[in-house]
Structure 1
C-alpha cells in the first residue's frame, strides 16, 4: 500500500496553554546608551555639595528640632542625650499655656499687616520708579538702605526714635501739639511699634522684586491701551496688576515665610513685652528655650515646629495655585 506524501505543515506551533506562538520573533528593543563613567562621576560631584548642604543645614536641624519637641529635655539630658520620650506632651503644654492664644493672635496680626503694607508700598514705589525719570536710579538705591543694614542696627535705631522720653518721633509730635506716646512701654502700642519697624525694613525687598517684574512687561501694551483711551488707573488695573501676578505671588510667599520668623526686631525693641503684648511665636519659642534659668527645650521646639508647619502649608498652597494657573 502506497503512502501519499503530505505537504509540510506550516501552522504555528502551539504552546502548552493552547495558544499559538508568534511566527516571528519580537523585534529587539534599542539599547539605551549608557553615559560614560566620567560624566556620571561629574554629575555626582556637582550634586554632592548641594546634598551635604541640605542635609547639614536643613534636614538635620529639622530632625533635631522634632526630636527636642518629642522628648523631655533638661540641661543635663541635653548634654548627656538620655531624655525620655514623651510623645506629643510638649505640644499639649503649649496649647494649654495662657500665652498661646495671645501669641497666635499677635503672630497673625503682625504677619498680615506687614505683608499688606510692605506689598502695597513696594508696588507703589515700583510703579513710580518705573517711569525712568532723572535720579530714578539714585533714589531707588537709597531705598535699599533699610534692607542692607544689619537688623540689629535697624532695630536699635527704631528703639531710639520711638523712645518715650528722648525719641525723635515724640519730639516731632510735640511740635504740632500731640501728646507723647509710650511706643515701646505701653501694651497698646508695642505691637504697632514693631510692625512699623518691620514694614520699613521689608519695603525695599518688595520694591526690588516688583520693579524687576515691571521691566518684563512689554511697553507696547501700554501704548496700545493709551491709544484706546485708557487712563493711568485703567492701564494699571488691566495690564500691570494682572501681569504681575506670578511675581506678586512669589513676593508675598517669601515675605510671609520671612515675617513669620521675625525675631530680631521684636526682641531688640520690646523683648515681646510689656506683659506679652508683642509676643509672637518666634519670640515665645526663644523665651521658652533660652529666656529662663530653667529652659524648656521641648515646648520651645514645639512652638518652633508650629512655625515650620505654617510656612510649609503656605508653600504647598502656593505650589498648587501655580500648577492650576499653568494648566489653565
Structure 2
C-alpha cells in the first residue's frame, strides 16, 4: 500500500498583460521593540513625566485660570465660568499695566546690559591666569550662591535710609541721605543695582568657559601681526564668543523677566508702584489682596511666558541661519 503526500494547492497565477503574475507574499509581522529601544524609552520616561507634571500641567492650569472667572470659592470647588479673553482685556485696561510694562522693560534691559558687560570684563581679566585668579574667581561666585532672600535682605539693610551703610558712606563725603527704597525716583534703581550684583557671577562663569575654548594660537598669530590688546579683543575674542554670548543673554533674559523675590523683599513694588514689574504685579493680583483676582494674575503671568517664548524662538531662528551653509 503506497502513501501519497498531498501538496498544498497553489493558487493559479493570474495573467496580466500576457505574463503570469502570482499573488503577493503575505505581509510580515511587525518586529517587537528590541532591548535597546526599551532601554531608550526607559531613560526618556522620567524626563517626560517630569516635564508633564512640572511644566505642561502647570502651564495648562495657568492658561485655564486666565480664561475663567475664578473666585476663592470657585478656585476650591472648580466651577468657575468661562470668560474667554476678558481677563486679558482687564489687564490691558488696568492703569497699572503700562507702568509695569515699562518698568519690566527697563529692569530687564539695564540688568542684561550691565551684567553682560561686567561679566565679560571680569572673564577677560581672569583669563590671564595670574596668581590667585582661581581664588578670586571663586569669591565672585558668592552672590550667585547665596539664597535670594539673603541677598535681597542684605541690600535692603545696606540701602536703608536711616541706618544703611550706603548713606553712611555718602555722609562721610558730605552728601546728604538718599531714600533708596522709599523714593519713587530711586526705588527702581535700587532693585536694578541689587539684581546686577546677583547676576554678574553667572555671566562670568559662562563667558569664562567660552574664553577657554578659544585657541591661544590665534592670539599669538594676531600679536605677531602687530595687533594690540583691544584689536585682539574686538576682532578675535568678541566674534568667537558670539554663540556663548547669545545663550548667556537669552538665559539672562528669561531669568530677569521673572525676577520677583528681590523686588518684593526690597520694595514690594513700591512706593506708589514705582518699582512694580509684571512679575510682582501678577503676584499682587493673585495673592496680595484680600479679594484675589486669580484670572488677571494668571493672564499677566502668561504674558511673561509668551515674551520669553518669543525671544527663545528668535534665538533658535538666528542660530539656524548662522549654522546654515
TM-score scaled by structure 1? 0.90
Q: Does 1:150 align with 2:147?
A: yes
RMSD: 1.8
Is 2:305 the counterpart of 1:305? no
Give, in angstroms, the shift of residue 32 of structure 1: 12
2:61 matched to 1:89?
Answer: no
Q: In the alignment, which residue of structure 1 is the partner of 2:11?
A: none
Once residues 95 and 286 of structure 1 are traced to their aligned partners in structure 2, the CA distance between those partners, rounded to angstroms, is 16
What are the residue-to-residue correspondences of 1:42-191 with 2, within 5 Å? 42-191=39-188
Q: Deviations over 1:163-204 (max 9, x none)?
A: 000000000011111111100000000000000000000000
The equivalent of 1:8 in structure 2 is: none
> Number of residues paired by the alignment?
307
Q: For each residue in 1:112-170, what CA deviation from the matched residue of structure 2 results, as whole angstroms up to 9, or x when unmatched? A: 00000000000000000000000000000000000000000000000000000000000
Superposed CA deviations along residues 291-319 of structure 1, whole A, max 9, x for unmatched, are 00000000000000000000000000000
Pairing 1:272–2:264 present: no
Find the aligned partners of 1:38 and 1:218 in 2 and give their Cα distance.
42
SS at 2:79's partner residue? Answer: coil
Distance 1:216 1:96, change over 3 A: same
- CA 1:33/1:129 → structure 2, altered by over 3 Å: closer, same or farther? farther
Report how far residue 45 of structure 1 moved: 1.1
* Cα distance in structure 1, aligned partners of 2:21 and 2:103: 76
1: CA distance, partners of 2:253 / 2:60: 23
> Which residue matches 1:327?
324
Correspondent of 2:213 among 211, 216, 224: 216
- Which residue number in structure 2 is paired with residue 291 of structure 1? 288
**Which structure 1 residue ranges, 5 or more long, are not aligned?**
1-12
Confirm or deny that 1:260 pairs with 2:257: yes
Distance in 2 between residues matched to 1:239 and 1:323, nearest whole Å: 22
**CA offset digits 1:29-76 (Å, max 9, x no partner):** xx9995753223222211110010000000000000000000000000
Q: Give the TM-score, by structure 2 length.
A: 0.91
**How far has the Cα of 1:14 moved from its partner?**
5.8
- Unaligned 5+ segments in structure 2 are 1-14
Q: What's the counterpart of residue 239 of structure 1?
A: 236
Which whole-Å CA distance do the structure 2 matches of 1:117 and 1:72 have between them?
Answer: 41
